Amino acid sequence: RGAEGVAADLAGRHVVVSAGGTREPLDPVRYLGNRSSGKQGYALARTAVARGARVTLVAANSELPDPAGADVVRVGTAVQLREAVLKAAADADAVVMAAAVADFRPASYAEGKIKKRDGQEPEPVALVRNPDVLAELSADRPRPGQVVVGFAAETDHVLENGRAKLARKGCDLLVVNEVGERRTFGSERNEAVVLAPDGTETPVPYGPKEALADTVWDLVVPRLG
Ligand code: CTP
Ligand code: CA
In order, the DSSP letters of 26-66 are: EETTEEE-----SHHHHHHHHHHHHTT-EEEEEEES--SPP
**151 assigned ligand-binding residue:** yes
Reduced to 3 states, what is the DSSP secondary structure of residue 214?
helix
Question: What is the average per-residue pLDDT within 63-67?
Answer: 96
pLDDT in tens, 140-177: 998 999 999 999 988 889 899 999 999 999 999 999 98
- Hey, which residues does 17 pair with through a beta bridge? 57, 96
Question: What is the average per-residue pLDDT within 33-50?
Answer: 96
219, pLDDT greater than 60: yes
Using an 8 Å Cβ cutoff, are 56 and 73 in contact?
yes
- Hey, which residues does 15 pair with through a beta bridge? 55, 94
Measure 132 CA to ligand 1 centroid, in angstroms.
7
203, pLDDT greater than 80: yes
Our answer on whether the CB atom of 132 is closer than 6 Å to any ligand 1 atom is: yes
Q: What is the mean pLDDT of the chain?
A: 93
**Model pTM?**
0.95
Alpha carbon nearest to ligand 1 atom 19, residue? 152
Interface predicted TM-score (ipTM): 0.99
Q: Best of 23, 40, 101, 169 to mutate for ligand 1, by most ligand atoms within 8 A of CB?
A: 101
Measure 153 CA to ligand 2 centroid, in angstroms.
8
